[in-house]
């Protein structure tokens, strides 16, 4: 039974991950990959990494689970909410807004935007996308442990979420009146091409996992899906240094299409 990654196996798996998702697992991520593989070995009851590598080469479903398992999905309600406050302050509410939450993880980003736009009587639709099928399924359900509701302002929590009962006592659920504005679908930022165009694209806290070349490709593709003068929003700890995709900077993490 071999459950410790060799250098060769790390390189092989890191290259699969890079080619599929753009996620750049540098040498210092050995223990992270090791831990995530260990989970998949337990789930599949496979005894060795060698066997697991052979298995994902022939089993598409497990290959997808493997990629899913190496994504980092950390997110929370009202994260970096200055971006949404900017929208509420800047964009007039007479126009119907099409918004894309690219890399939406388990949906908190999309629902946080939705409840604020609803409160301010905007007409809008939001598409949330992610590479991880597991995260998309959580997002579609819209059910979250109650402790994750802490950052949601009390009035919005009361108005747009239901408290669970019985087995779901410690959970909240997004109400249908919010959910009807939000759809979730799988979209791989490095291989898929959007079929629609948007007024605002949020692409936050995912490009930190990409190298410069991947970032350039991802941003160029997303910008094609942005309407003229549309807003492109990245995470506050991210930057577009060295990338010149036809955007002008509004604040350090908010860009606008065109000059
Ligand atoms: C840290 S979460 C960010 C969630 C949210 N945007 C936020 O700022 O809180 C990063 C997400 O990017 C997704 N991701 C990673 N690579 C991706 C790719 N190539 N295409 C689409 N999503 C990807 C992961 O599955 C993960 O859910």
- Determine the topology of domain 82-257 in CATH: Rossmann fold (3.40.50)
Residue 163 has a pLDDT of: 94
pLDDT in tens, 135-170: 999 999 999 999 999 999 999 999 999 999 999 999
How many angstroms separate the alpha carbon of residue 2 from the centre of ligand 1? 31
- Of 59, 36, 49, the C-alpha closest to 5 is 49
Average pLDDT, rounded, for the chain:
95
Cβ density class 82-93: b for 16+ within 10 Å, e for less: ebbebbeeebee
Q: Ligand 1 mean position to 130 CA, how many Å? A: 6
Query: How is domain 7-70 classified at the architecture level of CATH?
Result: Orthogonal Bundle (1.10)
Please give the backbone phi and psi of residue 252, each rounded to the nearest 5 degrees, phi first. Answer: -60, -20
Helix (H) or strand (E) holding 183: strand 182-186
pLDDT at 27: 87
pLDDT mean over 193-203 = 97
- pLDDT at position 252 is 92
- Residue closest via CA to ligand 1's atom 12 equals 103
Ligand 1: which residue has its CA nearest to atom 19? Answer: 21
Task: Write the burial class of residue 197 (CB in 10 Å: 0-12 exposed, 13-18 middle, 19+ buried).
Answer: middle
Atom 10 in ligand 1: residue holding the nearest Cα:
206
Average pLDDT, stretch 223-249? 94
Residue minimizing CA distance to atom 27 of ligand 1: 105
Cβ pair 147, 114 in contact under 8 A: no
Pocket test for ligand 1, best of 138, 189, 206, 214 (most atoms within 8 A of CB): 206
Determine what percent of the chain is predicted with pLDDT higher than 70.
99
pLDDT for the residue numbered 244: 73
Instruction: Please list the residue range(s) of the chain that carry CATH number 1.10.155.10.
Output: 7-70
Which pLDDT belongs to residue 140?
Answer: 98
The residues lining ligand 1, judged by C-beta closer than 6 Å to any ligand atom, are 21-23, 71-75, 79, 103, 105, 109, 130-132, 135, 188-190, 204-206, 209, 235
Query: Has residue 1 got a pLDDT over 70?
Result: no
Distance 73 CA to ligand 1 centre (A): 6
Please state the atom number of ligand 1 nearest to the C-alpha of residue 68: 25
> Could you tell me the distance, in angstroms and rounded to a whole number, from the CA of residue 7 to the centre of ligand 1?
27
Please state, in angstroms and rounded to a whole number, the distance separating the CA atoms of residues 148 and 143.
10
Structure tokens at 161: 């979420």
- Closest by CA position to 209, among listed 237, 230, 229, 233: 237
CA of 72 relative to ligand 1 center, distance in Å: 7
d(CA 83, CA 91): 12
Cα 50 to Cα 75: distance, rounded to the nearest angstrom: 33
Q: How far is the CA of 139 from the centre of ligand 1 (A)?
A: 13
- Please state, in angstroms and rounded to a whole number, the distance separating the CA atoms of residues 52 and 40: 9
* Segment 189-199 mean pLDDT: 96
pTM metric for this prediction: 0.96
Residue ranges of the chain that CATH labels 3.40.50.150: 82-257
**Averaged pLDDT, 181-187:** 98
DSSP state of 148: G
* pLDDT per residue as tens digits for the range 114-141: 999 999 999 999 999 999 999 999 999 9
CA 119 to ligand 1 centroid distance, Å: 27
Per-residue confidence (pLDDT) for residue 34, from 0 to 100: 93
CA distances from 2 to 7, 114, 198 (A): 13, 47, 48
Give the mean model confidence (pLDDT) for residues 9-17: 95
Query: In this predicted structure, what is the pLDDT of residue 245?
Result: 80
Spatial separation of the C-alpha atoms in residues 221 and 128, rounded to whole Å: 16
- Average pLDDT of the residues in 10-22: 96
Which tens digits make up the pLDDT trace of 43-62? Answer: 999 999 999 999 999 999 99
What separation in Å is there between the alpha carbon of 64 and the centre of ligand 1? 15
Closest ligand 1 atom, residue 187 Cα: 21
Per-residue pLDDT at 238 exceeds 90: yes
Beta-bridge partner residues of 143: 173
Q: Are 137 and 190 a contacting pair, CB within 8 Å?
A: no
Residues paired with residue 206 on neighbouring β-strands, in sequence order: none
């Amino acid at each position: 039974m071999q459950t410790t990654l060799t250098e060769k196996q790390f390189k092989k798996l890191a290259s699969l991950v890079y080619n599929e998702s753009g996620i750049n697992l540098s040498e210092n991520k050995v223990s992270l990959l090791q831990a995530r593989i260990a989970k998949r070995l337990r789930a599949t009851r496979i005894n060795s990494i060698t066997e697991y590598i052979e298995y994902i080469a022939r089993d598409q479903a497990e290959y997808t689970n493997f990629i899913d398992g190496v994504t980092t999905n950390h997110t929370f309600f009202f994260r970096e909410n200055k971006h949404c406050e900017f929208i509420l302050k800047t964009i007039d509410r007479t126009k119907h807004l099409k918004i894309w939450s690219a890399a939406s993880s388990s949906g908190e980003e999309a629902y946080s935007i939705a409840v604020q736009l609803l409160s301010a009587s905007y007409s809008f639709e939001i598409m949330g996308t992610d590479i991880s099928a597991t995260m998309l399924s959580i997002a579609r359900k819209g059910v979250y442990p109650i402790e994750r509701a802490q950052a949601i302002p009390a009035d919005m929590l009361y108005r747009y979420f239901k408290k669970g009962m019985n087995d779901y006592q410690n959970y909240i659920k997004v109400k249908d009146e919010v959910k009807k504005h939000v759809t979730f679908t799988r979209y791989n930022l490095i291989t898929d091409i959007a079929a629609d165009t948007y007024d605002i694209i949020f692409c936050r806290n995912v490009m930190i996992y990409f190298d410069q070349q991947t970032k350039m490709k991802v941003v160029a593709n997303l910008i094609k899906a942005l309407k003229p003068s549309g807003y492109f929003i990245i995470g506050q700890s991210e930057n577009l240094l060295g990338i010149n995709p036809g955007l002008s900077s509004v604040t350090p993490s908010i860009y606008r299409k065109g000059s």
